[in-house]
Amino acid sequence: MERSVFSLFGSTFFGVAALGITALGFIWSAPGSPASPPKPEGDWRLLDPISYENLTVFPVVSSYGYDTSDFLTLEEGLSSGEILVREQGAETIVRNRDTNRQAPITYGGPSVNQLVLVNRSKRPVLLLAGELVSGGKQDRIIAKDRIVAPSAEPLPLNVFCVEHGRWSAGSQFTVAKTIVHPSVREQAAVKQSQSDVWASVAGGTTALASPTTPKAAPRVSAAEITETARAEAPTQSYSKIYGSRRVGGSADALVEEVQRRFRKETSGLKGERVVGVVVAYGGEVAWSDIFASDQLFQHYWSKLLRSYAVEAVARPTLREKASVEDAREFLRRLTGREQTESEPGVYRWREISAGSLSQIELDALEPKVITLHRLVLRRTS
């Protein structure tokens, strides 16, 4: 039986043990084995690629994984009311754990790039860069992968705006069930630039066509995205632009067919589980999302697939196919310039850059070090 993550808590887990384990990346325990040894980096297998139009998805499977059910996702928390997201300066009612009394709290003043989050659950919350929250003065996306520990206190949350033309009172923030497409996620997670986020929302893709390949028009051009924004999304709302019939309808056609083929390809697995994907556009492998468990992957899969499809319709419609060997490169650990951020006892965020690739990993530090999400991308700018 898989062990629950939180059943493994130990008060002295951190320190030298955490530092020694960092270089291993994902640490797996085999289902049915209570004491399996750590597995080395890259203990994943690629299934046959699933291709349609200019989009190719390589399912990533493993026979190892964690029970990650003790982590709450943003969508789950907002839907249940266990998570509150507010504009800075807005009054939020929180319960004092010592006195068990409710009291209004405000934090700072309104800011484009910062919101306030309250985790009222008993579980840590997993946030992924690019997840969209709708409402407030503007729709926003999470700036970076992170974990928010259980707490009744308001927490400053870094975000990027994806609704350039509005700064007015709106409803409280709600779950949007959307992850923005890779070109926008890249500007948030790697470049961390608000102006570049706005530009990628307006332009569709930041990827440039290779000078060595023939030109091929995308299914949805930048001009069509601009016209859709003018006619249907005057505030340049990401949700309205990419949910429109012209742009969103084109992406939905890809989603439906890739999902059908994906289910067929992964339905007969024995002793393995799908934990992620590597994604290619035409002949270029561009992106990967891999999780610590099939539970997390299944939670995010439909939103991720639609985000990949949105990117595909904005890129040239080249029918070249990426090789399996190129896809395997996205499973290997990068060596290069590294930067880290952390909150002791909660999470560690790590980015490694090498050439045109960036690798971002989010580790939960308690009850033991687990890499919950691993992203590798080929930078477009």
**pLDDT score of 28:** 40
Q: Is residue 94 part of a domain?
A: no
DSSP label of 316: B
**Of 24, 28, 32, the residue nearest 61 (C-alpha):** 28
- The pLDDT profile of the chain, 381 residues, written as one tens digit per residue, is 444 443 333 333 333 333 333 333 333 434 333 333 334 345 899 999 999 999 999 999 999 888 898 999 999 999 999 999 999 876 554 554 444 544 455 556 678 999 999 999 999 999 999 999 999 999 999 999 999 999 868 899 999 999 999 988 776 898 889 999 999 999 999 999 999 999 999 999 998 765 555 578 899 999 999 999 999 999 999 999 999 999 999 999 999 999 999 999 999 899 999 999 999 999 999 999 999 999 999 999 999 999 999 999 999 988 889 999 999 999 999 999 999 999 999 999 999 999 999 999 999 998 889 999 999 999 987
Domain of residue 367 covers: 5-69+271-294+321-378
Q: Is residue 281 part of a domain?
A: yes
Q: Is residue 19 part of a domain?
A: yes
Question: Alpha-carbon distance 13 to 27, whole Å?
Answer: 15
Q: Is residue 260 part of a domain?
A: no
Q: In the β-sheet with 72-73, what is the strand arrangement from edge to edge?
A: 72-73, 125-127, 146-148
Whether residue 125 contacts residue 71, with contact meaning beta carbons closer than 8 Å, is answered with yes
Q: Is residue 345 part of a domain?
A: yes
- Which is it for strands 140-142 and 357-364: parallel, antiparallel or unpaired? unpaired
Q: Is residue 331 part of a domain?
A: yes
**pLDDT score of 129:** 97
* 3-state per-residue secondary structure call for 29-62: CCCCCCCCCCCCCCCCEECCCEEECCEEEEEEEE
With both helix axes pointing from N to C terminus, report the angle between 245-266 and 222-232 in degrees, rounded to the nearest 10: 120
**pLDDT score of 153:** 82
Structural domain count of the chain = 1
Six token digits for residue 61: 């499977």
Q: Is residue 39 part of a domain?
A: yes
Which H/E stretch holds residue 114? strand 114-119
**Of 97, 89, 92, 70, the residue nearest 81 (C-alpha):** 92
Q: List the beta bridge partners of residue 278.
A: 58, 288
**pLDDT score of 212:** 55
**pLDDT score of 381:** 77
Whether residue 310 contacts residue 253, with contact meaning beta carbons closer than 8 Å, is answered with no
Q: Is residue 87 part of a domain?
A: no
**pLDDT score of 187:** 95
